[in-house]
Copies of this chain bind each other. A is one copy, B any other.
Amino acid sequence: MSDSVFQHQHRVVYAECTLGNHVYYARYLDMLEEARGEFFRQAGWPLLALQEGGTAFPVIGVEIAYTGPARYDDLLTIQLWLAEMRGIRLNFGFRILRAAGPSLADGQTRHICAGLNEKPKRLPDGLVEGLAPFLRTRNEVS
């Protein structure tokens, strides 16, 4: 994968773990949201500013494959890229790895662009331009 793929670090806490010392399956989605927030900030479009301007990206779908357990105190790397961006759709590909280690989970979160009335709307042109460098094809990330 290109060195320029967005990466976010996350330290696993007890709050995220469950019996058997592994991260509870739903908590990876919390981590992904944390990473998306930093992705938009780094791209120059902080979600808070977008939200205050009347734009949000509700999730309409998630696919995630778990390939290994993350454990307490693991330092995880969350890689994010845009798998699709057009019209009202914005899809993130992701991969979660133990730092310098194997992949623990990968998949996609699918979003639409919506107003605060929850109605879909086209992605703002400026945003599409700003996020274009983060688009990756499936081949580029494997």
* Surface stretch bound by B, among A65-73, A89-97, A122-130: A65-73
A57-104 residues with Cβ-Cβ distance < 8 A to B are 58-67, 69, 72-73
A61 to B69, CA, bound (A): 12
A25 touches B64 (CB 8 A): no
The residue on B at minimum CB distance from A27 is B26
Where chain A touches its partner, the secondary structure class is mixed
Does A121 sit at the interface, judged by CB under 8 A? Answer: no
Chain A to chain B contacts (Cβ below 8 Å), 24 pairs: A13-B33, A14-B33, A15-B18, A15-B24, A15-B26, A15-B33, A15-B34, A17-B18, A18-B19, A19-B21, A19-B51, A19-B72, A22-B58, A25-B62, A26-B29, A26-B33, A46-B73, A47-B73, A59-B66, A60-B66, A61-B63, A62-B62, A62-B63, A63-B63
